[in-house]
Structure 1
């Protein structure tokens, strides 16, 4: 199958390479000339505009977007709209908010265009391991795109599937990432407790290696955590600042909207916020409260 890839960053470029390995013909576009040159060096075609990309593809066209969520996705969707023809399909493989996806899909449907949302997990390891893909969209449209998903997945019948109508793919990926927040927080807290038990002199990398086999907490995330501990046991040079890309917030929002209790995911999100406050007014006020009611000492800066 021939398709266009919009967004040739690390993940997009890796997807291009995997698709090429599967026999698909790819033409890519990215605003960055360096990104275009990189995929050309890997054997793919690349063009310097969306118009040129659409022109290079046979009808009905299939275009996969791998761009950041929010305004960049909106701008790309809007720019493509007048360039496409009835029967063309756009796949949004980024981490868009599912509510934005519903809005964009409605607009495209009014013009006879297909819109498929593909929540994509796998990161930088996807080229080697394959991508986990949660897909939302019209059943017939998704089925027509099967060769693409089979190529990108870990195996033809594993790690991907149509989970429901348009919007459901990004919703499912949002919850996936919310779960990821909680898992990451639990591993981080557990290893921190181990590290603080200094009289045992525990080797955290060794503990991680033990847990990787036979343990009920084994996972790919633990594998990656253990690798990180081997490379940098004390996390030297790493700032205690954890960013979030939005999915955790959206998961908590969904839990509130649906009246579903999600304390672990919510608290893991709050901990990320806390990591960014290097001059916590709240902690200073807590210390002052203890001093006021109990005369407890205040640690000075």
Structure 2
């Protein structure tokens, strides 16, 4: 794996948190479970709900312990939804001084283990052009109650069996995640890229861990990530956090009967503690 320090963090000219109408792609939307009620992010500025991404689906575990999701029509372009308010304590917009429009994801360990925004699925052999997902974010909340292990971005297997038809693929574990880990291998307060090279294996030794540098915390912190799938002539996935990068071999994943998708947010995976992430930008391209 090639690890190097980027000289500059750059963004493509794609949809960000404050611009650009998106035309919804033609793909089958579904919720998990199908009977879930829809939720939209709450807008603390207007007191309404608000739509959030034409190519995305939000997974949200509400107070009643079930999953709720909605297929969005816009991404932070100023238009508002008229459906029932939901998730205002865990998934909401806020217009902050010196930052502007931000999308907040919160996890309270006594209520919810994840709050996530999901992009549409694509075939795992789709590498030309390379799908890319990126964002900038701040770690919020009190350090005293913060989880020591939480995920901010993932590339996950789609569990919809009409899409992922390979019966040997383990679908309940991510292909890749970018996670904050308080302490691992003598390294403290770092982000890690955690990659599963074999889609049929999620055992204890099935993952590769690469440190991607120190997490920035505090009042004015800024962090960033990039996932680019299918670089190096379609053989690698490129992962960047705060300018530190690595590449993983995706050769075992490149199958037309496996579908994968990006998602961002806050996921503690049952770890003790809370999590609060403020995304100031989210970008997607080549979908």
Give the TM-score normalised by the residue count of structure 1.
Answer: 0.26
More strand by share: 2
Which structure carries more relative contact order (alpha carbon 8 Å, separation 6+)?
A: 2
More helix by share: 1
Give the TM-score normalised by the residue count of structure 2.
Answer: 0.27
